[in-house]
Chain A
Amino acid sequence: MVRFIIVRVLGAIVVVWIVSVVTFLIFQLGPTLTHTSPVYYYVGKIPPTAEGLKLLTDRFGFNLPLYAQYWHFLSGILFGQSITDGVSAPIPCPSPCFGYSFRQNELVGNMLLQAAPVSISLAAGAAILWLIGGVTVGTISALRPGSVIDRIGMTGSLAAVSLPIFFTGPILLLIFEYQLGWLPDVAYAPISQDPLQWLKSMILPWIALAFLFAALYARLTRSNMLETMGEDYIRTARAKGLSQRTVVLKHGLRAALTPIVTIFGIDVGTLIGTTVITETVFNLRGLGFLSIQSIQNEDLPVIMGVTIVAAVALVIANLIVDILYAVIDPRVTV
């Protein structure tokens, strides 16, 4: 088991490292192809004089060989660095340091810390909703295959998969915010400060996001459950005289849910940092919003930071799922 965990952790570190290389190449190498100095994508303007440009090029290290630039980027994240523009006092940036946004005059790390709770709230709340909703619908459908309930559930879920959030989101807003006026002021507030406002700001994004995922989970639960309910041990459980409730919940659902747990972990991990569309629709200032905003502002240090944080979240989720799976399922060779 220890060996299994060590191998998986090492694998995860390699993936994060590859992501950091790719992110670096896209952003540090990409701009050099544009015949504009990468300085532009850091500070937002090209200094008017050649000396000024050279000064900044030297300061950011854009004249160094690529591997040295990459090391500067990586060592900043790993060991921290201090950021200086040569005029004001240097800004300490402890590890993990993702650099400094000269557009926003803020450490990228601080911007990430501000945005992360919004994204985590969104992903966590929606995940609870879709897990409950999807598994319930899927189970009920599987117990009565071909029935009216099954058909409604499965057609509904097929429809839900086909509806993009940037269509359902505005419709939810149109109904609940503008027509019914139930949620007039939906500015985000941290849960620690104002739980009620937090709930109000999150409820519609949760529904929009959960609607989509619940549909996927309902379909998955249904097919797994149908397969499980045909197994011999279910017949044995029935033959023992157990109630339908016990057979379904204790024997059927338990086996049918194992693969779903895997996908659930990965989905939640993916969502942190990549709910760009949901955050844009509902104007939530999370990591996804931060990434699209910094792309529009051409603020490269920020988008590099968001990409790496999102990758780390996804890799950690994968890792947890792998290890949990090995613990739950004895067939996994450890």
Chain B
Amino acid sequence: MSLPKGELEVVGESEQVALDSSEQGPRSIAGRSLWAIAWRRLRRNKAALVSGVIIIILVIVAVFAGVLTNLYGHSYLTQHNTAPNSLLDPATNMPLGAFGGISSTHWLGVTPVLGQDILSMLMFGARSSLIIASLSTALSLLLGVSLGLIAGYFRGWADTVISRTMDVLLSFPTLLLSISLITVVSFITTSLLVRFCVIIFVLGFFGFPYIGRIVRGQVLSIREKEFVDAARSLGASNGWIMAKEIIPNVIGPILVYTTLTIPNYMLGEAGLSYLGVGLNPPTASWGQMLSDAGNYFQIDPMYLFLPGLAIFISVMAFNIFGDGLRDALDPKSTR
């Protein structure tokens, strides 16, 4: 990571000196990058650290969902709804036993009607959720950063075209258009890969103007700074200035925005799946589980709570971590 130029801010450094002297005794004042300062601040934010650990666990579960469910011994695709292996009450089709059929073999119980294992379904749901959230965030970033950079750096007609386009996109009823687009594509093909791609596209594409506006605003102010003038007077090309002088200075806000966009898109995927236009069975999705649970929650509330809690904990972890990151990277922050 290259060192952001011109951002060796005084507040952080003096704070650093005070800290160092109290911790390790007196020593010479060393210039620290914004990243070193931010990391110090983040480490002192317990909630953000805990959230970071939760995020790491979530990613591990998502990546190794197949291995973990093999170790655990139950695929969520196995249905325990026929005798003699049925785990359901034949009269009501609801899980046998307390709390939605929680037992030593099925740690979080089984689903009503089909009797699928909930824990392994949640693990694969984490995978779907994270794949869609991270790839659509990547798409938003790609579009938002490149277009925001072009608009803010070159200004003029490029800025007008890009800014107007973003304004128009922001005044679209994007949820309805997303639902419609997914539905029309589902008329054409039922391929799972295409389904994933379309969901990623609608979330990422309709979301890019938010990051685009932030990047444009940042670039507009940074391009007027002295160090950019200095680079230009030394004969640096536009491409070099953008890559070496401007991008490193907008990485902070982009990083914060990324950690706050991922949970939004997780909610987005869950919402689409809840409405039946996201991921459909047999692909596991937390939103789809909640939609199914909505039919039985009076009798089997456990089936509602588990995917709900999975969404809540994951989204909250990303939100707290993103907030912590913002505080840590903000030079004005007193934390």
Interface residues of A, Cβ cutoff 8 Å to B: 15, 18-19, 22-23, 26-27, 30-31, 33-34, 36, 158-159, 161-164, 166-167, 170-171, 173-174, 178, 270, 273-274, 276-277, 280-281, 291-292, 295-296, 298, 303, 306-307, 310-311, 314-315, 318
11 pairs, A vs B, C-beta closer than 8 Å:
A22-B172, A27-B180, A27-B184, A30-B188, A164-B274, A167-B290, A174-B298, A174-B304, A273-B176, A276-B275, A277-B271
Asked whether B180 lies within 8 Å of A167 as measured between CB atoms, the reply is no
Within 8 Å of chain A (Cβ to Cβ): is B187?
Answer: yes
Asked whether A164 lies within 8 Å of B319 as measured between CB atoms, the reply is no
Within 8 Å of chain A (Cβ to Cβ): is B251?
Answer: no
Asked whether B301 lies within 8 Å of A306 as measured between CB atoms, the reply is no
- Given known contacts A31-B184, A277-B275, A280-B275, A167 and B311 CB-to-CB distance under 8 angstroms: yes
B267: chain A residues at CB < 8 Å are: 164
Asked whether A307 lies within 8 Å of B176 as measured between CB atoms, the reply is yes
Interface size on B, residues (CB 8 A): 41
Smallest Cβ-Cβ distance to A168: which chain B residue? B308
Asked whether B187 lies within 8 Å of A34 as measured between CB atoms, the reply is yes
Within 8 Å of chain A (Cβ to Cβ): is B294?
Answer: yes
Asked whether B311 lies within 8 Å of A292 as measured between CB atoms, the reply is no
Asked whether B173 lies within 8 Å of A166 as measured between CB atoms, the reply is no
Contact flags B174-210 to A (C-beta < 8 A → 1, else 0): 0111011101110110000000000000000000000
- CA of A292 to CA of B277, assembled, Å: 9
- Given known contacts A26-B181, A30-B187, A274-B175, A162 and B312 CB-to-CB distance under 8 angstroms: yes
Asked whether B287 lies within 8 Å of A307 as measured between CB atoms, the reply is no
Asked whether A167 lies within 8 Å of B304 as measured between CB atoms, the reply is yes
A162: chain B residues at CB < 8 Å are: 263, 311-312, 315-316, 319
Asked whether A26 lies within 8 Å of B177 as measured between CB atoms, the reply is yes
Within 8 Å of chain A (Cβ to Cβ): is B270?
Answer: yes
Asked whether B179 lies within 8 Å of A291 as measured between CB atoms, the reply is yes
Smallest Cβ-Cβ distance to A173: which chain B residue? B297
Nearest CB on B from A223, distance (A): 11
Name the one of B177, B275, B311 contacting A307, with C-beta atoms under 8 angstroms. B177
A178: chain B residues at CB < 8 Å are: 298
Ranked 7 nearest A-B pairs via Cβ? A30-B184, A167-B308, A310-B173, A162-B316, A162-B315, A34-B187, A166-B274
Segment 109-153 of B: residues with Cβ below 8 Å from A = none
- Looking at B168, B176, B179, the one whose CB has the most chain A CB atoms below 10 A away is B176
Asked whether A159 lies within 8 Å of B316 as measured between CB atoms, the reply is yes
Smallest Cβ-Cβ distance to B309: which chain A residue? A167
Asked whether A292 lies within 8 Å of B188 as measured between CB atoms, the reply is no
B275: chain A residues at CB < 8 Å are: 276-277, 280, 292
A173: chain B residues at CB < 8 Å are: 297
Smallest Cβ-Cβ distance to A295: which chain B residue? B183
Within 8 Å of chain A (Cβ to Cβ): is B323?
Answer: yes
- CA of A291 to CA of B176, assembled, Å: 8
Asked whether A161 lies within 8 Å of B184 as measured between CB atoms, the reply is no
Asked whether A281 lies within 8 Å of B294 as measured between CB atoms, the reply is yes
Within 8 Å of chain A (Cβ to Cβ): is B17?
Answer: no
Asked whether B187 lies within 8 Å of A36 as measured between CB atoms, the reply is yes
A295: chain B residues at CB < 8 Å are: 179-180, 183, 277
Asked whether B177 lies within 8 Å of A170 as measured between CB atoms, the reply is no
Smallest Cβ-Cβ distance to A281: which chain B residue? B294
Name the one of A159, A166, A174, A311 contacting B271, with C-beta atoms under 8 angstroms. A166
B271: chain A residues at CB < 8 Å are: 164, 166, 277
- CA of A190 to CA of B168, assembled, Å: 34
A274: chain B residues at CB < 8 Å are: 173, 175-176
Nearest CB on B from A228, distance (A): 15
- Given known contacts A164-B271, A295-B179, A19 and B172 CB-to-CB distance under 8 angstroms: yes
Segment 292-314 of B: residues with Cβ below 8 Å from A = 293-294, 297-298, 301, 304, 307-308, 311-312
Asked whether A292 lies within 8 Å of B287 as measured between CB atoms, the reply is no
Nearest CB on A from B213, distance (A): 14
Within 8 Å of chain A (Cβ to Cβ): is B231?
Answer: no
Asked whether B294 lies within 8 Å of A166 as measured between CB atoms, the reply is yes
Name the one of B173, B180, B181 contacting A273, with C-beta atoms under 8 angstroms. B173
Within 8 Å of chain A (Cβ to Cβ): is B276?
Answer: yes
- Looking at B172, B173, B263, the one whose CB has the most chain A CB atoms below 10 A away is B173
B277: chain A residues at CB < 8 Å are: 292, 295
- CA of A56 to CA of B271, assembled, Å: 37
Smallest Cβ-Cβ distance to B313: which chain A residue? A162
Segment 278-292 of B: residues with Cβ below 8 Å from A = 287, 290-291
- Looking at A30, A173, A315, the one whose CB has the most chain B CB atoms below 10 A away is A30
Nearest CB on B from A162, distance (A): 4
B185: chain A residues at CB < 8 Å are: 30
- CA of A253 to CA of B196, assembled, Å: 45
B176: chain A residues at CB < 8 Å are: 273-274, 276, 291, 303, 306-307, 310
A315: chain B residues at CB < 8 Å are: 171
Segment 203-244 of B: residues with Cβ below 8 Å from A = none
B187: chain A residues at CB < 8 Å are: 30-31, 34, 36, 298
Nearest CB on A from B152, distance (A): 20
B319: chain A residues at CB < 8 Å are: 158, 161-162
Nearest CB on A from B236, distance (A): 34
Nearest CB on A from B330, distance (A): 11
Asked whether B270 lies within 8 Å of A164 as measured between CB atoms, the reply is yes
- CA of A292 to CA of B316, assembled, Å: 28
Contact flags B255-272 to A (C-beta < 8 A → 1, else 0): 000000001000100110
- CA of A311 to CA of B174, assembled, Å: 9
- CA of A167 to CA of B297, assembled, Å: 11
- Given known contacts A30-B184, A162-B312, A296-B276, A318 and B171 CB-to-CB distance under 8 angstroms: yes
A171: chain B residues at CB < 8 Å are: 304, 308
Asked whether B168 lies within 8 Å of A26 as measured between CB atoms, the reply is no
A311: chain B residues at CB < 8 Å are: 171-173
Nearest CB on B from A213, distance (A): 14
Nearest CB on A from B210, distance (A): 13
B307: chain A residues at CB < 8 Å are: 167
Within 8 Å of chain A (Cβ to Cβ): is B320?
Answer: yes
